[in-house]
Amino acid sequence: MTGARYAAGAASPGAASAETTDAASAGVASVTAPALRVRGASVEIGGASILEDVSFDAAPGEVVALIGPNGAGKSTLLAVVTGDQATTGGEVEIAGRPLGAWSLKELGRRRAVLLQQNGVFFPFSVREVVEMGRAPWQGTPRDADDDRVVDESLALTETTRFQSRPLPSLSGGERARASLARILAQETGILLLDEPTAALDLRHQEDVLRIARNRARAGDCVVVVLHDLSLAAAYADRIVLIHDGRVVADGAPDAVLTGELLSRVYDLPVEVMRHPVTGTAIILPIRQPSAARVAEPGESSKETP
């Protein structure tokens, strides 16, 4: 599956050569060329600055988590990368080519986006929705793979069981997984996921991020907006911490997830512990014993867009 994806990904016009030239010029400390490159992106909406001079890269093979408090600009940053949000300054490059130089169809073969809202207006079945993910490949030699890819995507997200049910009749979590299946069926080398775990229970949160990490191990570039810091610590290769529209930290989870930094950014005393076996960071707000019952854990609250 992965071999085929990369063969065809490289065959898409200009992408392969652009990537190699980019690798030469990129002064970034990543082994491979960035699949995604944001330089000095700024966004102003109604005079208010939402993003200010934001730069970050994401390379094939890595999971990059975008974290930060509500309203920090994570979703806006993701929207800048998807092209949904116009910038007032800065550059965005996908596979070495400026975002504006891509046609919509080519982009649809290169990057897939999972939004927070995943409804569908008419009662399409889950399978039909996942098949929609194949649309960018229509008319290319790869549309012969449609059925196989759709089957695999359904199986991977454990949605095969309700593939014939109408999507609007599913629960929020089931719908989110079906939408993830659609994104996977799109077979792009770049996955942009906006809070994919928000509606999910404990097991499916782990499943979704494991799928994302497996895709990265197979060579994809995965950028994921997350609220759950412990999840980010466990699954991300790199974490970009955003606060008030700026990048505050960008690095390995252990470097970014420190009690001191998080306490400052989230405006709440936070402590970082280590899992006794795996050594992964576990992030918890420091709760006073008496206040424990009323305290609301900041990292699990949902961001309103």
Q: Site residues (CB under 8 A) for another protein?
A: 82-84, 103-109, 111-113, 115, 117-125, 128-129, 132-133, 135-136, 138, 186
Q: What is the token pair recorded at 113?
A: 């986006």
Q: What DSSP letter does each residue of 125-184 carry, written as one string?
A: BHHHHHHHTTGGGTTSGGGGGHHHHHHHHHHHTT-GGGTTSBGGGS-HHHHHHHHHHHHH
**Please, what is the minimum distance in Å from the beta carbon of residue 1 to another protein?**
20
Query: Quick one: 84 or 267, whose CB is closer to another protein?
Result: 84
**Please, what is the minimum distance in Å from the beta carbon of residue 295 to another protein?**
32
Query: Quick one: 80 or 265, whose CB is closer to another protein?
Result: 80
HSE-CB of 302 using CA atoms within 13 angstroms:
11
**Please, what is the minimum distance in Å from the beta carbon of residue 142 to another protein?**
14
**Please, what is the minimum distance in Å from the beta carbon of residue 94 to another protein?**
12
Question: What's phi and psi for 267, nearest 5 deg?
Answer: 55, 50
Residue 144, Cβ neighbours under 10 Å: how many?
9
Nearest alpha carbon to residue 2 among 231, 281, 234, 189: 189
Task: Specify which residues 190 forms β-bridges with.
Answer: 111, 221
Q: What is the distance between the alpha carbons of residues 18 and 281, in angstroms, rounded to a whole number?
A: 37
Query: Quick one: 52 or 194, whose CB is closer to another protein?
Result: 194
Query: Quick one: 6 or 124, whose CB is closer to another protein?
Result: 124
C-alpha separations of 169 from 86, 114, 144, 192, 196 in Å: 34, 19, 30, 26, 19
Query: Quick one: 109 or 177, whose CB is closer to another protein?
Result: 109
Longest dimension (CA), the chain: 64
**Please, what is the minimum distance in Å from the beta carbon of residue 85 to another protein?**
10
**Please, what is the minimum distance in Å from the beta carbon of residue 138 to another protein?**
7
Query: Quick one: 75 or 197, whose CB is closer to another protein?
Result: 75
